[in-house]
Amino acid sequence: MLKRFATRLFELYCHSDYQEDILGDLDEYYEQNLKAKGRFYANVKFCIDVLLLFRLSLLRDKWFYQNSIYLAMFNTIFKTSLRAFWKERGYTLLNVLGLTVGLTASILLLLYVESERSVNGFHKDVDQIYQVLEHQTFSGTIMTTESTPGPLNTAFKDDFPEVEAITAYTWPYELLFINEDQRHKGSGRWASEDFFSVFSVEFIEGSAENALTSPSQLYLSKSTKERLFGEEPALSRTLEIDGFGSFQVAGVFEDIPDESTIDFDFIAPYQVWKERNDWVNEWENNGVRGLTKLQPGVDIDQFNTKIEGYVKEKIGNEEAIATIFLQPLSDRYLFNIYENGQLTGGRITYIRLLTVVAIFILLIASINFINLATARSTKRAKEVGVKKVVGSGRGHLLLQFMTESTLLGIFSALLAGILVMVLIAPVNLLVGKTMAFSLINVDQAAKLLTAGLVVGIVSGIYPSIVLSNFKAISVLKGKLKSHNSSKGLRKGLVVFQFMISTILIIATLVVQKQLNFVKNKDLGYTKENMILVPVEGNLYDSDVRAQLKSRLLSNPDFTHLAFSSESTMINSGTSTASGFSWPEKENELGTNFNILFAEHGLLETYNIELLKGRSFDPLLATDSMHVIINEQTAKIMNLEEPVGHTVTFWGRTGRIIGIVQDFHFNSLHSGIEPLVISLRPGNSQVINIRTTGQNNQASLAYLEATLKELNPDYPFEYQFLDDNYEAQYQSELVIGTLSNYFSGIAIFISLLGLFGLASFAAEQRIKEIGVRKVLGASVSHIILQMTRGFILLVGIGFLLAIPISYLFMSEWLTTFTYRTEVGVSTFLIAGIASLLITIATIGYHAVSAANTNPVKSLRYE
Amino acid sequence: MKKYQLGEFEEIVLLTVGVLYGDAYGVAIKEEIEKRIQRKVSVGALQSALRRMEDKGFLSSALGEATKTRGGKRKRYFKITAFGKEALDFNMQTRLDLWKEIPDIAFQFKPC
């Protein structure tokens, strides 16, 4: 086997005259060695000899193109291609520039797409892992949530043989870790035993074996461990969790990659948490998340049908509102929006959109090549004629022109690869990713070259056919027919380019308009100059709170301070359907009321307008029984005089003392929901602090110093409400930035093509312009003549773009309940902008052509 | 010197081909050299030296008859050409001349 392979190798490179006798010699040595030292030695020796025989003097004669006349032909084609490039360097430059920019943009886009698609892909057996989700029906509409009943964790596996493992874990918990004098706050989960057998992590210390079985064992991420223990190994070391006693480190794992929908710095034993949260033992209550691994080969649709009534059965009530189902974890990130129980998409929409944009940008760049090549085909007609006369067939000519475009494509791909390597770092910063690209990576380099090849072939195929179709006789006679078909196609392609570019510009404008709308929308409260600080440690103590309040407000930079369960952005807050009631309430009313626990002064701190009644009064102790509602709640209660009406909220019966104006406490994607504000200081999680915004640095420093003194155990942490507010629209913001850049790139490439066509037209019509000028045409008339055609094409592209972009963008806007309109002004701006840049691009050639002296252009006629 | 470019290993191979007159093919040459000079010769080095010298015109070669051994592959027998002989002569002559030019005193290693 080895010997045969070596023989083939030898035959491959060795000069054919020498093969027989040297191989004979080798055989002889082989036989000798076989007898003397055995088969293995003989084989190896044979191979080594073959390798050592790779000598210059033994190589095939003219090794690289012997036997292949085609290789010789490629040599020629290669040479002529390079000469053609050089002769037309201006156009080559335009083409390379367009293709390079196009490829760079597309590669960056596709890298982004790939990185988005790879989210959650790092798990072992990811196709067996599913997130447990739950549909909950409230007054006829179905909400979908990750919250699932706690007992599922133990029952699910016993009840269904398809389940290999299931783990329950909590929402992100912030805990303070203390190791001697090292303090570090980490966000992580309490998770049950099977967690590590479902969720793949890489252990640096310890292992997944028997993990999470002991109530005193804890698992840390690498970076958390380093904060607490430095470089030393942490295994079996003990550390304190503030409020939970001491734990032993049973394992350290690599940090969870960014491409994960579930993130954590630590994993703590679920049982500890469960003991303190016994509500989780009821099937009726939702709270924990579930992640499950099914046996290989389970059909997920069938299984989902099977478990549809499972929770109802467990609760023992057919009327229960909950059903659980599983979603593949690999889909969780991209397919994240359920509307009324149906999967309607989510991030995948943007991902598909970006893929399409990437393809269109490449297409625009390819069109440049096609247009320039067909426009200039007359210039190369003679070459084709001569070649045909000498005897080359159509195939050869096709091959030649295809080689030219492919070479250009591959060259541009290499340039694009270098550009991407340079640009990847700033792009990562821009979109908040850690993408990597390197030409050394064989996989990526291969993809890049394929892209270059495809672009080269796609853009080369039509011009090659046109060029190789020339008839030798008519070309050489000088009777080259102008081909109307390719002229028409050229025009069509220009229209197409500008249609796409204009659509992208309009889309960008609309996205920006909506983002501005979101930023400037009057939310019903003031979001600027609001600092949020979490309530923790000593801050649960009411005396400390009072001290904090008086000390901060004594500083003129701070105007208001109030405690509440959440800031005014209640996205994942608590809500209740049955916990809020009034005498007239219909039993089956399934409306979910959002809950905000406030303390005195919250409305004032946020500038939330009170429409009727009064705010909570610190002097009235009975106010803790009363509630304030928003307009939505009032509407649902449908009472003549809501203020003063008796209501019961979570066991406390009191009255409605006020109605606040509806304010946007969730994202503008959805409408304002009913809200109940109750006075319960014990539930406060956030300190809302309003500053004047005059001395931000000084205010923060003062705040930090005060908190350090009052709450020394906890590191200072704060957020600005307006930052949080914008972070809600993260994916829209990323799309906004991306569309800014990519519409710019698309229009740039389109203009490059137009520039090339205009310069060619000016060159071709030089005599015509001369004649016109001699006959008395003015410069402005000629400029008009020159630009009219192009402006018409761009105009048609623009007109075609209007309906398409209108449809797309109004569709996109419907994802927001509160939205701006596409608007006529958007189209006007886009239209005028594209017109102006078109004129600027072709104007240069038009003006210089119109100003040439006719004597010069007509001298040789 | 330029006329006869003959390296040290090439010279040995050329001489061995002469020694083995009529029977000088790859395996035989290799064994002969290994036997006489006590040094390992790699097939690659030997074969490339042979072809190189054939190119230079020091050697000529012809394929022999096919035999049943070595899978029916023919052997290539090498012979020294007149030009090869000249090169050997030249090499020997230059060396002899150099020998002769060495003064006797150069070889007297007694301490002075």
pLDDT at A418: 92
CA distance B43 to B51: 12
- pLDDT band, residue A103 (cuts 50/70/90): very high
Q: Label each residue of A107-135 as H, E or C.
A: HHHHHHHHHHHCCCCCCCCHHHEEEEEEE
Contact A21 B44 (CB under 8 A): no
pLDDT at A137: 80
Share of chain A above pLDDT 70, in %: 96
* A56–B contact, CB cutoff 8 A: yes
- Contact assessment for residue A646 and residue A583, using Cβ atoms and an 8 Å cutoff: yes
Q: Give the pLDDT confidence of A146-159 residue by residue, as tens digits.
A: 888 888 888 888 88
Considering only CB atoms, A53 lies closest to which of B30, B43, B73, namely: B43
Residues 6+ positions from A452 with CB-CB distance below 8 Å = A103, A409, A410, A411, A412, A413, A414, A416
- SS3 helix, strand, coil % of chain B, rounded to 5? 60, 10, 35
- Contact assessment for residue A335 and residue A345, using Cβ atoms and an 8 Å cutoff: yes
User: In b/e form, how buried is each residue of A57-93, taking b as 16+ CB within 10 angstroms?
Assistant: ebbbeeeeeeeeeeeeebeebeeebeebbeebeebbe
pLDDT at A796: 93
pLDDT mean over A86-108: 90
pLDDT at A68: 60
- Contact assessment for residue A331 and residue A172, using Cβ atoms and an 8 Å cutoff: no
Residues 6+ positions from A490 with CB-CB distance below 8 Å = A370, A371, A374, A375, A757
pLDDT mean over A385-409: 87
**A146 phi and psi angles, rounded to 5 deg:** -85, -10
pLDDT(A221) > 80 = yes
Nearest to A329 by CA among A263, A261, A264, A258: A261
Other CB atoms within 10 Å distance of the CB of residue A536: 19
Residue indicated by tokens 């008796």: A646
* A13–B contact, CB cutoff 8 A: no
pLDDT mean over A456-482: 81
pLDDT at A483: 60
Nearest to A567 by CA among A606, A528, A594: A606
CA distance A231 to A226: 6
For this complex, say whether ipTM is above 0.85.
no
pLDDT at A16: 77
Q: Give the pLDDT confidence of A772-786 residue by residue, as tens digits.
A: 888 988 888 888 888
* A26–B contact, CB cutoff 8 A: yes
pLDDT mean over A792-796: 91
pLDDT mean over A581-607: 83
Choose, out of A25, A26, A32, A56, the residue to mutate when testing the contact with B (most B CBs < 10 Å). Answer: A25
Angstrom distances, CA of residue A630 to CA of A361, A595, A601:
49, 11, 16
- pLDDT band, residue A571 (cuts 50/70/90): low
- Per the DSSP assignment, residues forming a β-bridge with A485 are none
What is the pLDDT of chain A when averaged over all its residues?
A: 86
pLDDT mean over A435-457: 86
- pLDDT band, residue A806 (cuts 50/70/90): very high
pLDDT at A69: 64
Q: Give the pLDDT confidence of A247-288 residue by residue, as tens digits.
A: 999 889 999 988 888 989 999 999 888 888 888 888 877 778
The secondary structure of A455-481 as a DSSP string is HHHHHHHHHHHHHHT--HHHHHHT-PP
- pLDDT band, residue A63 (cuts 50/70/90): low
pLDDT mean over A71-87: 82
**A644 phi and psi angles, rounded to 5 deg:** 95, -10
SS3 A62: coil
pLDDT(A1) > 80 = no
Angstrom distances, CA of residue A15 to CA of A5, A754, A809, B28, B73:
17, 54, 68, 22, 16
Contact A28 B63 (CB under 8 A): no
DSSP E strand stretches across B1-112 = 59-63, 76-80
Instruction: Specify the length of chain A in residues.
Output: 861
pLDDT(A526) > 60 = yes
pLDDT mean over A66-74: 65
Q: Which two tokens stand for residue A460?
A: 């080369």
- SS3 helix, strand, coil % of chain A, rounded to 5? 55, 15, 30
Angstrom distances, CA of residue A618 to CA of A547, A600, A623, A735:
16, 6, 8, 47
* A178–B contact, CB cutoff 8 A: no
Contact B51 A26 (CB under 8 A): no
Q: Give the pLDDT confidence of A747-767 residue by residue, as tens digits.
A: 899 889 888 888 888 888 888
Burial of A98 (0-12, 13-18, 19+ CB in 10 A): buried
Fill in the amino acid letter for A263.
D
Asked which of A88-97, A221-230, A357-366, A475-484 is least confident by mean pLDDT, the reply is A475-484
pLDDT at A436: 84
CA distance B52 to B55: 5
* B42–A contact, CB cutoff 8 A: yes
pLDDT mean over A528-555: 88
Q: How is residue B106 annotated by DSSP?
A: G
pLDDT(A167) > 70 = yes
- pLDDT band, residue A848 (cuts 50/70/90): confident
pLDDT at A479: 67
Asked which of A410-414, A445-449, A821-825, A857-861 is least confident by mean pLDDT, the reply is A857-861
* A58–B contact, CB cutoff 8 A: yes
Residue of A683 and A552 predicted with greater confidence:
A552
Q: Give the pLDDT confidence of B3-41 residue by residue, as tens digits.
A: 677 888 889 999 999 998 888 888 899 999 998 888 888
Residue B67 to chain A, least CA–CA distance (Å): 11
User: In b/e form, how buried is each residue of A150-167, taking b as 16+ CB within 10 angstroms?
Assistant: bbbbeebbeebebbbbbb
Q: Give the pLDDT confidence of A5-23 residue by residue, as tens digits.
A: 888 888 877 777 788 888 8
* A35–B contact, CB cutoff 8 A: no
pLDDT mean over B52-72: 83
Contact B47 A24 (CB under 8 A): no
Residue A832, H or E segment: helix A824-850
pLDDT at B15: 92
- pLDDT band, residue A235 (cuts 50/70/90): confident
pLDDT(A435) > 70 = yes
Contact A31 B70 (CB under 8 A): yes
Contact A58 B27 (CB under 8 A): no
> Which pTM does this prediction carry?
0.72
Contact A27 B26 (CB under 8 A): no
Largest separation between any pair of C-alpha atoms in chain A: 113
pLDDT mean over A606-628: 88
pLDDT at A480: 62
CA distance A778 to A375: 27
Q: How is residue A88 annotated by DSSP?
A: T
Considering only CB atoms, A52 lies closest to which of B43, B55, B76, namely: B43
CA A257 to chain centre: 15
Residues 6+ positions from A653 with CB-CB distance below 8 Å = A625, A646, A647
Q: Give the pLDDT confidence of A317-374 residue by residue, as tens digits.
A: 766 778 888 999 989 888 888 888 888 888 888 888 889 999 999 999 999 888 888 8
pLDDT mean over A65-80: 70
Residue A760, H or E segment: helix A730-764
Considering only CB atoms, A25 lies closest to which of B27, B42, B45, namely: B27
CA distance A293 to A675: 38
Residue indicated by tokens 């006869």: B4
pLDDT at A572: 57
